[in-house]
């Protein structure tokens, strides 16, 4: 069955030229067991009409989609990894498989892979993905999307029937190939690679490409100011991402410059975690011994990466414009954090921003002093004081009777309930919210690993879907 009439293929990335990518062959797998099919997003890009066999043909054997790339593209980039510059990286276990349009808003989208085999950038790796890694990415992206974070979507997961050996998992472990749907795979590291080779002309071409396809509102900017306007947009998008991470209690774990794309969309999930309580020192990666990417240091890490981007395009932007763009980051992320908290609480902005800032300050003080549950607090006070009775029945109701809650109560009282609070949704009749703590993730995986029981994963995805409908987060990206 062909794709639906909503399907619109593109091959725009190829127009950048072969210096930006390598043509590669996908791995051949001994088995193809379809484990996850994101039908909701498949419908949005016109691929919902594919049969399961056709789905596996495209996303397990990587037969080209109609009108798409004839051969996958392994993208070239460099990057700072834990602040150490690495010129020897690129798409080592993935590739850009296809580009297509979002049928709702017309955005250019990528279908990229993880675990699809070796490329020229694999170094000593096998180019493969563990099934556990694929399951974890599904859980991360589903949860983040529901919480209003602009994230890649886990589009497909197919188990591939190979034993993999990994030092951080009991080996051998099962293998899989993941396909993710993203707004862009152009990273800060893409720019860093061109700057490393002092290829100013290619940098200018890449800026023009990004403006044309990701920031078309800048198309009418004069040529001499277009790069500066581009940098300002990227700063704003990445600031929003950092703010939404913080409001979601999420720790990405590996905020290297090759993991930050120019559209400010979160992607590439490895050692991620959600913080159970407010703890700025909470880290996700066991190998992050210095806490470089700890929860509370994520805004600074993103700002550091933006500075690296500005350095690469400085000849096109100019020092003064670059400093202005980077100088706006702190105020933008603070405001975006306030707006993200309002979305989470289901509240309208105050008449002046000072009231929103007071809410943010009071919340962090309450969470820090009481160590109340991060997610339970947002859940209990969805709609502000309109949820007093619900909060009184909460498992942590005692924390709301404590003196430490007075400031937060006053800040909540200064905000009106938003029409989008959706307090009548069945989700808010639960005693506790849907969460995604590491113990839950490990429990879901254990049932798959020990008994090949996928019911817990399906149940969790269904719970997240209910939460997503209840929160109806403000559209991210754009």
Q: Give the number of other Cβ atoms within 10 Å of residue 111's Cβ.
A: 26
Give CA–CA dist 168/288, Å, rounded. 14
List helix spans (H) across 279-427. 298-312, 314-317, 319-327, 329-345, 353-370, 374-380, 388-392, 397-400, 406-413
Active-site residue identified among 91, 258, 343, 380: 258
- Full DSSP string of 381-398: TTTGGGGHHHHHTSTTHH
CA atoms lying within 13 Å on the CB side of residue 174: 20
How far apart (Å, rounded) are the C-alpha atoms in residues 272 and 252?
A: 5
| Alpha-carbon gap, residue 234 to 256, rounded angstroms | 16
Whole-number Å distance between alpha carbons of 196 and 189: 10
Report strand pairing: 79-81 vs 84-86.
antiparallel
CA distance 27 to 76: 19
Active site residue 110: no
* Residue 253 vs residues 108, 192, 281, 434, 448: alpha-carbon distances, Å: 27, 21, 12, 22, 24
Q: By the 8 A CB rule, do 35 and 93 touch?
A: no
Maximum CA pair distance of the chain?
64
Residues serving a catalytic function are: 258
């Amino acid at each position: 069955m062909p794709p639906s009439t909503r399907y619109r293929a593109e091959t725009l990335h190829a127009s950048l030229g072969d210096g930006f990518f390598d043509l590669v062959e996908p791995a051949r797998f001994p088995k193809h067991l379809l484990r996850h099919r994101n039908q909701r997003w498949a419908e949005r890009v016109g691929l919902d009409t594919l049969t399961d066999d056709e789905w596996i043909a495209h996303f397990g054997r990587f037969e080209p989609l109609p009108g798409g790339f004839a051969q996958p593209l392994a993208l070239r980039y460099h990057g700072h990894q834990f602040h150490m510059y690495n010129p020897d990286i690129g798409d080592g276990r993935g590739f850009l498989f296809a580009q297509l349009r979002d049928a709702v808003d017309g955005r250019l989208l990528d279908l990229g892979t993880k675990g699809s085999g070796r490329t020229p950038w694999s170094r000593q790796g096998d180019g493969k993905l563990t099934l556990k890694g694929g399951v974890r990415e599904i859980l991360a992206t589903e949860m983040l999307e529901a919480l209003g974070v602009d994230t890649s979507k886990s589009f497909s997961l197919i188990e591939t029937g190979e034993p993999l050996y990994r030092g951080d998992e009991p080996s051998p472990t099962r293998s899989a190939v993941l396909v993710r749907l993203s707004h862009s795979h152009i990273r800060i590291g893409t720019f860093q690679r061109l700057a490393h080779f002092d290829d100013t002309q290619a940098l200018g071409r890449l800026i023009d490409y990004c403006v044309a396809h990701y920031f078309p509102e800048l198309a009418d900017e004069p040529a001499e100011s277009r790069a500066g306007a581009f940098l300002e947009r990227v700063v704003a998008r990445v600031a929003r991402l950092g703010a939404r991470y913080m409001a979601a209690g999420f720790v990405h774990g590996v905020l290297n410059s090759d993991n930050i794309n120019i559209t400010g969309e979160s992607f590439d999930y490895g050692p991620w975690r959600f913080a159970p309580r407010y703890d700025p020192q909470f880290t996700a990666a066991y190998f992050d011994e210095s806490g470089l990417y700890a929860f509370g240091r994520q805004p600074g890490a993103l700002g550091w990466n933006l500075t690296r981007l500005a350095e690469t395009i400085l000849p096109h932007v100019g020092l003064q414009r670059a400093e202005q763009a980077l100088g706006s980051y702190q105020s933008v992320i603070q405001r975006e954090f306030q707006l993200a908290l309002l979305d989470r609480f289901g509240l309208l902005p105050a008449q002046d921003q000072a009231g929103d800032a007071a809410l943010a300050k009071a919340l962090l003080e309450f969470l820090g002093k009481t160590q109340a549950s991060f997610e339970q607090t947002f859940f209990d006070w969805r709609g502000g004081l309109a949820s007093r009775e619900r909060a009184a029945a909460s498992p942590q109701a005692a924390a709301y009777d404590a003196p430490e809650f007075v400031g937060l109560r006053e800040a909540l009282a200064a905000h009106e309930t938003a029409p989008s609070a959706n307090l009548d949704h069945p989700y808010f009749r639960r005693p506790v919210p849907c969460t995604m703590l590491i113990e839950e993730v490990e429990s879901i995986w254990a049932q798959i690993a020990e008994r090949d029981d996928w019911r817990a994963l399906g149940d969790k995805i269904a719970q997240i879907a209910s939460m997503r409908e209840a929160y109806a987060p403000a559209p991210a990206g754009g």
